[in-house]
Amino acid sequence: MYPVMLALLSALLFGASTPVGKLLLEHLPPFQLAGWLYLGAAAGVAPGLVWNRPVLLSLRRIEKKNLARLVGAVGFGGIAGPVLLLMGLQRASAASVALWLNLELVATAVLGFLIFRDHLGPMGWCGVCGTLLASAMLSWQGGGGGVLALGLVAGACLCWGLDNHWTALIDGITPQQSTFWKGLVAGAVNLGIGSILEPGHAGVVTAALAMGVGAIAYGMSITLYIKAAQYLGATRSQMIFSSAPFFGVGLSIPLLGEWISMLQALAALLLIVSLVYLFRDQHSHRHTHESQWHDHDHHHVDGHHNHVHPGAQPEPTHHHPHRHKPEVHAHPHWPDIHHRHGH
């Protein structure tokens, strides 16, 4: 239940960003707002890292393959994704955009199946198709603007689908470190682009407010999501995280005075059914674990971490380099960091 609660809290925090982002777009254009939000995300996790000097040098000891994953996550998930989302949010209601964000689950599932060796069974594919149909229903009521907004949000979701898989596979640095570097680099890049392409600049109060939203809705949310994804795998974590749009819809009513149409209600019902199908898509089979040396958050009650800690008993969830011995066994499992085998 621990990783499930992490993913659910992450969804709640991120869901709040949609209606709040709609309000902030009245004062800031997309690139500048994306920049301040992600700089806020970096600032939000920085206090817990600043006293630990190795954290600031963490990129020097990360393996090349993990550094490449981090670069991809920053480029797609930190730079491109937020800007595309905010552009779509300018053109559609916050409630519709919030529900469209379930396309991130579709993108994560399809990319996982095609590229990242993430198993998806018949029930999972039914859930994917249902989510696509619900998103199409929401675009109909917006006419041409709705289709353009859907395309922009879908592009953001595709970027975040790639980001989800790369961040779920990164080891050697903690989720807080990953969030810090993503927020710092992506925020600086988008703010720089915005200062060149977009007229006007944010006032101190507006920038501080955007950074505060970024610290909570992005910084804390991303960190919690990465922790969950390392336990559950990107697709299953995304299933739980896909509750974020419903939090966003709920907050759009009191914050923006938006009303939920009958079509939106039907689409939401279809999304809920689709998520149930996706979450029930589990499997169990005999599989092989090769010998592996890596470094990530873990605990000793999952059947995969049986190494001994000399001296004091470690915290229930802790982080250090460790080795896995070769093993062959069968049990129900998710496509987490230890189960990226073929089927």
Rounded to whole angstroms, the Cα distance separating 188 from 265 reads 38
260-285 pLDDT tens trace: 778 878 888 887 888 777 667 665 65
pLDDT of residue 320: 60
Task: Tell me the residue length of the chain.
Answer: 343
pLDDT of residue 105: 78
Cβ atoms of 94 and 26 within 8 Å: the answer is no
Mean pLDDT of all residues in the chain?
79
User: Looking at residues 274-301, what average pLDDT do you find?
Assistant: 63
**SS3 at position 210:** helix
User: Looking at residues 245-254, what average pLDDT do you find?
Assistant: 82
Name the pairing type of β-strands 318-324 and 283-289.
unpaired
Other CB atoms within 10 Å distance of the CB of residue 318: 13
3-state secondary structure 290-307: CCEEEEEEECCCCCCCCC
- What letter does residue 80 receive in the DSSP assignment? I
68-116 pLDDT tens trace: 999 999 999 999 999 999 999 999 888 888 888 878 878 888 888 888 7
Of 71, 76, 67, 83, nearest to 30 by C-alpha is 83
Question: Which has more confidence, 36 or 104?
Answer: 36
Q: What is the number of H-type helices and E-type strands within the chain?
A: 16, 4
pTM over 0.85: no
